[in-house]
Amino acid sequence: MRLLIVEDEKRLALALAKGLTAEGYAVDVVHDGLEGLHRASGAPYDLIVLDVMLPGMNGYRVCSALRAAGDDVPILMLTAKDGEYDEAEGLDTGADDYLTKPFSYVVLVARIRALLRRRGADRRSPVLDLGGLRVDTAARRVHRGEEEIVLTAKEFAVLEQLALRAGEVVSKAEILEHVWDFAYAGDPNIVEVYVSTLRRKLGTSLIRTVRGAGYRLEAR
């Protein structure tokens, strides 16, 4: 899952990015509203954390511009307590949820997960059953029968991209876009490394290579 943080308080933005990266999300950070809008229009984000008071363009305007362009990416708005803007205004412009500063990091992560889950819910339940393998996208754990298969955050994120579209071919580029952030300038073959680790941990027949196209998770 790839997130965009648009927040001009740099220390806060970087602390959030660091925490969310450790949770297994790919996180991009910008500190300016206009740049946020450009970034959001140019890449397939799964969720945007959007501050209201921003240089360039305020968060409400960024949000309405995205909605006007038909972009329905989940948006979690960060508002200042006793500020001139209020929650109702945030929701009016098309934000999915809001959080008043100062907020607890734990609450932020819970809200992000809930929004991502709500978005995924119209496709699949948070627990995916894949031929004896139970992938819990909310708890981010994998079980085979009673046994837990321990995956790193990144390994889980790669598996999740394949599992959400089980039976379909998912390209390496799509996996990269959702699991790594834009600053990742390394070898796209990193995806192969993760897939081979997943095969080692989960069994070799689960993820098929579709030559020249990508990978397909076999959901039997």
Residues at the interface with Ca ion (CB under 5 A): 8, 51, 53
* Residue closest to Ca ion (Cβ): 53
Tokens matching residue 118: 């709500």
Residue with smaller CB distance to Ca ion, 11 or 200: 11
Closest contact distance (angstroms) between CB of 18 and Ca ion is: 18
Tokens matching residue 202: 């989960």
Closest contact distance (angstroms) between CB of 83 and Ca ion is: 10
Residue with smaller CB distance to Ca ion, 51 or 181: 51
Closest contact distance (angstroms) between CB of 16 and Ca ion is: 13
Rounded to 5 degrees, what are φ and ψ at 4?
-115, 130
According to DSSP H, which parts of the chain are helical? 10-22, 33-42, 59-68, 87-92, 105-121, 153-164, 172-179, 190-202
Tell me the C-alpha distance between 98 and 159, whole Å.
30
Residue with smaller CB distance to Ca ion, 53 or 130: 53
SS (H, E, C) 144-169: ECCEEECCCHHHHHHHHHHHHCCCCE
Closest contact distance (angstroms) between CB of 1 and Ca ion is: 24
Residue with smaller CB distance to Ca ion, 49 or 179: 49
